[in-house]
Chain A
């Protein structure tokens, strides 16, 4: 079964540093998403991406966040200046009839 691949699996960064989380979506899927899950809390929508542009974003997705599809395959989430409260699991998901989630990146901001 096709998979969504995310790297790195775990990232530790200092507060104020920039991080880039990477995702390789399933190749024939057209809609891409980033979600996050703070430990012990629910999965929250961050942003959706279609046709090389953002189609919707949540209140969480402020100016510190950006997404790109730099080379037609990878799909990245950048956090410009990380805060302690950005510590969470970040999941990439792609969609056809169902939503397939990547294995996630555990981001720890110290």
Chain B
């Protein structure tokens, strides 16, 4: 199967910037998604990258390097409500389906 690797936990201070890294297997790769998930809730869409480079959306940015099999999610001006798990998910070209393969998630704790 395709492995998606991301750190298990991170801690950052309110108002700071944090970068969450993700690596994935490149064979058959078709797009990279980031989701936010609060405990007991559904994943909510944050960003999508399919081409190399940076996508910016407010306080959140996501970067992709297809050749390196690498992405990161950048969160600026951290707020307490940003405490959540951040899920990296890759889409692979398959037999008639475009299902996502998820990493285990990075639990971010924002402290005062």
Chain A residues proximal to chain B, CB less than 8 Å: 31, 33, 41-45, 48, 50, 55-56, 89, 91, 95, 97-104, 106
Contacts and interface: CB of A to CB of B under 8 A. Distances in A.
B99 A48 contact: yes
A102 B48 CA distance: 19
13 contacts: A31-B97, A44-B102, A50-B97, A56-B99, A89-B40, A97-B48, A98-B33, A99-B45, A99-B100, A101-B43, A103-B41, A103-B42, A104-B41
The winner among B89, B95, B97 for most chain A CB atoms within 10 A is B97
B44 interface: yes
Interface of B is mostly: loop
Interface string B27-38: 000000101000
B13 to A, nearest CB: 26
B48 A98 contact: yes
B65 interface: no
Contacts of B105: 42
Contacts of A100: 45
Interface residues of B, number: 23
A42 B45 contact: no
A42 B97 contact: no
B95 A56 contact: yes
A43 B43 CA distance: 9
Contacts of A91: 42-43
B79 interface: no
B96 interface: yes
B45 A31 contact: no
B21 interface: no
7 A-B pairs with least C-beta separation:
A56-B97, A48-B97, A101-B42, A43-B102, A55-B96, A42-B104, A55-B97
Given A50-B96, A50-B97, A56-B96, A42 B103 contact: yes
B61 interface: no
